[in-house]
Structure formats: C-alpha cells, structure tokens
Structure 1
Amino acid sequence: MLDEVDRGLIHALHIDGRAPFGRIAEVLGTSTQTVARRYRRLRAEAALRVVGLPNPDRAGQTQWMIRLTATPSTVQDLAQSLARRADTSWVKLASGGTEIFAVIHASSDTQAVPTLLLHDIPRRASITAVSAHCLLHTYLGGPTAWRGHLEALTDEQQQQLEPPRATDPPASRPPASAPPASRSHAADTPASRSPATDEPTSRPPTTDTSAPRPPLTRADHDLIDALRRDGRATHADLAAATGVSQATVARRLADLRANGALFFDVEVAPVLLGATTQALLWMTVQPGHLDRVATTLAGHRELALVAATTGRTNLLANALCRSPADLHDYLTHRLGGLDAIHALETAPVLHTVKAAGPLTPATSFTRGN
C-alpha cells in the first residue's frame, strides 16, 4: 500500500502531470530528493506513469468500446495482440477470463474500427462473439480522474499546484506552505523548472474558449505521440522525438494544454489505492432520463468512467470498489435507487492488460486491476 507522500505525489501529478518535483515537494512539505526518489520507486514497483493524451473531440477521434468473447486457450494471446495496437487503450480481461474489452480510437480520416471489425477480427477463428459500442458522450473519464486518486491533498494544496495562466500576475498563485524546519533545501530546484531537468516549465496561457480552434497538425500529433510514452519527457527529448526545436516544443506544448487538446493522465494500479474489485457496468436507461442518470453517476466516488454508448445498452460505467461486498452495496443501494435504470449487467474485471498509454515492457498491472 501507499503512504501519505506516495498518495500526495500521485494526486499532485493528476493536477499537473509535468509539475516540477521541487514544486510538489514544497506543497507536500518534504524535499525534492524525496519526491524524485518516490517517483522512481513508484515507476519501478507500481507501474506509475504519466501519459499525455489527446482530447478526442479536439483530435478528431471517435472512441469505440469493443467487446470480444474468445475461447479460454486463446484469450490471453488475443488480449496481448489488441494491446500492442497503437489505436487501443484500456484492454481488460473480464467475465471469467473469456471476455475482452478494449477501447479503440478511430481518427475521422481512417477506417480503424471498420478494418478491425470487418477484417482483423473475423480472421480469428477463436473469437466466438463480438460487439462494438460507440462512446457518444463521456460524463466521467478522460481529463476527469477517478476520485480515488484525488483524496490526498487539501483544497489549498491543490490550488498551489494549479499551473498559473500566462496572463496571471506573478502574485496570483498562493505561496506553498512553509516546509518543516527539518526539510533539506540543498537539492531543491526552483518551482519554475521542468520535471527532469533545469529547463523552464511551459505554462498554458489563457485562451478564449469560444474562439475557433484550428485542427491539430501532423507535428502536434507527433508531439502527443511522444508524450503518450512519457508525459514527463524533457523538452530536449521531445524535440529529438519530433524533429523540431526545444522552443517549438515548449510553445506547442503550452498551446495544446491551454486549448484543451492535450491532457495528462496518471497510470497506477488501483489496487494500491485500496480498490481491489473492479467491474464494467452495462446499463439500460430510459432515453429521456439518460442525461440525468449519467450526470448523477459521474458524481459517484466508486466510478472512474461514465459514458453514453450505442448498442443494446446505452450507458457504460467502470466501478472501482474496495471489495466485492462494497461493489454489492454500491449496486444494490446507490444504483438500485435509480428507477430509470431498467437493466444492469456487471462484468468483473480480472486483469488490465493495457491502460491509457502504449504498452511497454515496464507496464504491469496486478490481477483485479
């Protein structure tokens, strides 16, 4: 399990995935060395990773939830094959180990989902059933993190970690709380430095959200692809990966964050935060009540995803609970009290093969998460 500093670090990274360790250390009341050491340990032992992800609406993407049933002897290989695809995320084994769920990201100018459904999947004789559900609207998920990640810091600490906007005056950010007298300052870096080097951290400027937003360029997609692999990569590493200057990287990174085209997610096994039981909930809701029910569910601590979908069911949620008993309590009392939910199917998740970012040798999630 994680201690207070670990949880505070994870919460801080959700607020700003590229926050300098020195700034996080100030807020947590510890040293930069301690924060950096904890980050390295969590990366090695808990599969912690910060990943930069495109906002689907701004990136011209449509998301689909693919649901596959396969023979027990082939389901593991099939899940790994799906996880290796560049257009997938959240590949999960569920329902007794014979069912796979995966999110497919289809660009508006490609045929990714039709190709997968009409060509790639039919070639697998081991697949016994398949369905595809377009995610029509996401009420919870994406830039909005699961609340289980966000319970370590006070409101004041969270405010101190919010990246200042370019138009804010220098004094607009509240000062970090004074650290304990025993804290070591020798290794501290200025709060305006980047995660892994002493280069300045780019801060998103204020933008007019009503103004037309230009489409993402090929260079933008290249930058986001690099951030998918490591959301805390230095400007130098990003410049090398994209073939542009560090100044260009810093400027485009700030612009993408400011206009909502890019956000940062934190991957870590939920079991380490006490969520040992996970399930996908497929619900049928009266269409006239769908928005109200989905908005209500988006406020539930137990859920990490709430999305309206196509298909025989029209609302999908991902539940993270402390135990099977807590999941039962949630289903019978909280969901059971919503009369507009006409039907509910619960698919327990046994293993997460792939989370939001690309599959890497270091990616590892424990069974049940």
Structure 2
Amino acid sequence: MTEAVDRLDGRLVEELQRDGRAPMEDIAAAIGLSRQATRTRFERLVARGALRVVGVVHPSAQGLHAFAHLSVFVRGSALRAARAIARLPTVPLVSIVAGRASLIAEVRAPDMAALHALIRTIGSVDGVAHVEAATYTERIKDRSSPALAVATPRLDAVDRALLDILQADGRAPYAQLGRRINYSASAARGRVQALVGSGAVRVTAIATPGLVGLSQMCGLGLRLTRADAAIAKLLELPAVSYLSLAVGRWDAVATLLVASPAEVVAETDRIRALRGVDSLESWTHLQVVKEDYRLQLAGPG
C-alpha cells in the first residue's frame, strides 16, 4: 500500500470516527474522492479486519458508574493470566504490555463496592501476584465512547433492540433497524437520533492500529502538579487518543496512538515538557487480548 493510500485511509477513518453513520457522499466530499471510490476503500478496510463501525453504548445506560485502570503483575505466563481476566464480562480491555506491569486492564462496575470486589477477583486469578488500581474520576477524551449524558437515559425495549443491532453494525440501514422494531425507517431514524443526542450511544469507527498506519499504542500514567494547565495542553495533542483523570498511583491515565517508535519518543518528550506534568510512566502494548465495549442490553426497559 502506498503512502497516499495510507493517508486517505487515515482520513476515511477520521471521518467515520467523528460520525460513523455519516452518508458516504459526505465522507467522499471530505476526503476528496468519489462516492464509489470511498465506498470501495471502506469495504476493503472492513474486509481486511482493519475497521469496524459500531455503536458504543455509554456504560451509564446499563447502570455502570465506577471505572478503573489496573496494572496487573503476573508470575509465570502473562498470556494465560490475561486470557483468564478477559473472560470476566465487565472487563472490556486486557492487554499484555512492556513496562513495569505484566498487563493492563480496564474494569467497570455499578458502584465502588462492586468495583473493589471485581479488583479482588482479578487479584485472585491464578498467576496474578498483585494488582494496582487507578480509579477514574472523569473521562476527558475518548475517541470511541460517547460523551457522558446529562442524565442517564431510561431505555425501553425498543431502545435496547436498536442498540443491540448498532453495537454489531453501526451503519445498519434504517430500514433494517425499523424491521427489527416494527417501525418505519423514518421512525427508526428518529429513535436512533434521540439515543445519539442523549449520549446513550455514539456510532464511531474502531480501527485496528497496525492496519491503518498507527502501529504503536503506548499507555501513560501521569503525575500532575497543575492539572488544569496540563490537561488543556494534552487535549491539543492529536496523538493522545484517550485521557482520564484518576486517583491512585497517577493523577491521569492516557493512551498515545502513533505510527512509529520514534513518534512515541517524540510525543512522550513533548508531554514531559508540558507545564504541570510532574512525572510520566509509560508502557507499550504488545498484544491486546481483549477489546470489547459491547454491553448486554437484553431485558425489560
């Protein structure tokens, strides 16, 4: 694949990350290609497994309000421990890393008591020596997840049916969505737009980093002396794909997504130099064992 093709693929992904249900005509106009060429490129990326367009449901819509980043230290096989942790349903992310810890995980639960119980469960997994937690207090930036809704929406059976489909296929046609809920296509469009507007769901692109030119994923734990100044600058950096405030070992947890190890060095140096950043700890993702943010939405509204 040529550099130009890589660049156009990247722009296509960016447009879909902004709005996963954007009309193909609008995406084509934004990246400077014909509608057919854009669709062909999109279908090629999907067929290669490089790209998925999905509905990411806000966890609060399913009663999940407590979140944490875990650094997991392992005796023996990190892969075996990671696979065991990945089987837990409220652990959406598990990755083997190079760094101080053996692997990292993201966990979520209904409340702090349940979160602590989940962390204890992970600590008891065979091969896990100990677990360090950084509890999230505020998500500042996340390219894939919806913004926090002003009020947690109450989902009825129709909403849940729509969200189930969107979690699997974010670009499912409104006619298909309408058939599932026995609504017209226009009525299904209105329900989906209401769900998006409430913050219950965001339809976005999830790209496999190595297949769209961003092959290096690096996690950061930050100690901050002037949080407001540092956060403002971090939000300006395109390489920062995720940022949350936390309590525990760090004041913030971030993810860098870049094209090369040299860019990791450049970006971490840039972040160390930011006003308000006291110290930085980093880890490199070697193998993502699980990344699945789908929620189980079956049941009464």
Q: Which residue of 2 aligns with 1:301?
A: 238
Among 105, 116, 119, which residue is 1:117 paired with? 119
Question: What is the count of residue pairs matched by the alignment?
Answer: 288
**CA 1:249–1:350: 2 relative to 1, 3 Å:** same
Q: For residue 291 of structure 1, give the secondary structure of its aligned residue in structure 2.
A: helix
**CA 1:357–1:240: 2 relative to 1, 3 Å:** farther
The one-letter code matched in structure 2 to 1:66 is L
Q: Which residue of 2 aligns with 1:203?
A: none
Among 307, 313, 317, which residue is 2:250 paired with? 313
Q: Which residue of 1 aligns with 2:155?
A: 217
Q: CA deviation at 1:52?
A: 1.0
Q: Which residue of 2 aligns with 1:68?
A: 72
What runs of 5+ residues in structure 2 fail to find an aligned partner?
296-301
**CA 1:113–1:234: 2 relative to 1, 3 Å:** farther
Quote the sequence identity (%): 27
Q: CA deviation at 1:143?
A: 5.4
TM-score, scaled relative to structure 2: 0.80
TM-score, scaled relative to structure 1: 0.67
Tell me, in whole angstroms, the C-alpha distance in 2 between the residues paired with 1:131 and 1:55.
Answer: 25
Q: Which residue of 2 aligns with 1:351?
A: 287
- Largest Rg, 1 or 2: 1
Contact 1:278–1:318, Cα closer than 8 Å, also in 2: yes
Contact 1:94–1:349, Cα closer than 8 Å, also in 2: yes
Among 135, 157, 173, which residue is 1:234 paired with? 173
Aligned pairs for 1:135-174 within 5 A: 135-142=136-143
Please state if 1:331 is matched with 2:264.
Answer: no
Deviations 1:299-337 (A, max 9, x none): 1122111211111211111122333233223323x2232
Contact 1:281–1:344, Cα closer than 8 Å, also in 2: yes
What runs of 5+ residues in structure 1 fail to find an aligned partner?
146-209, 360-369
Q: Which residue of 2 aligns with 1:36?
A: 39
Please state if 1:259 is matched with 2:198.
Answer: yes
- Larger proportion of strand: 2
**CA 1:251–1:35: 2 relative to 1, 3 Å:** same
Please tell me the root mean square deviation across aligned C-alpha atoms, in Å. Answer: 3.3
Tell me, in whole angstroms, the C-alpha distance in 2 between the residues paired with 1:38 and 1:345.
Answer: 38
The one-letter code matched in structure 1 to 2:71 is R
Q: CA deviation at 1:48?
A: 0.5
The one-letter code matched in structure 2 to 1:79 is A
Among 220, 223, 235, which residue is 1:284 paired with? 223
Tell me, in whole angstroms, the C-alpha distance in 2 between the residues paired with 1:47 and 1:346.
Answer: 26
Contact 2:17–2:204, Cα closer than 8 Å, also in 1: yes
Tell me, in whole angstroms, the C-alpha distance in 1 between the residues paired with 2:276 and 2:248.
Answer: 17
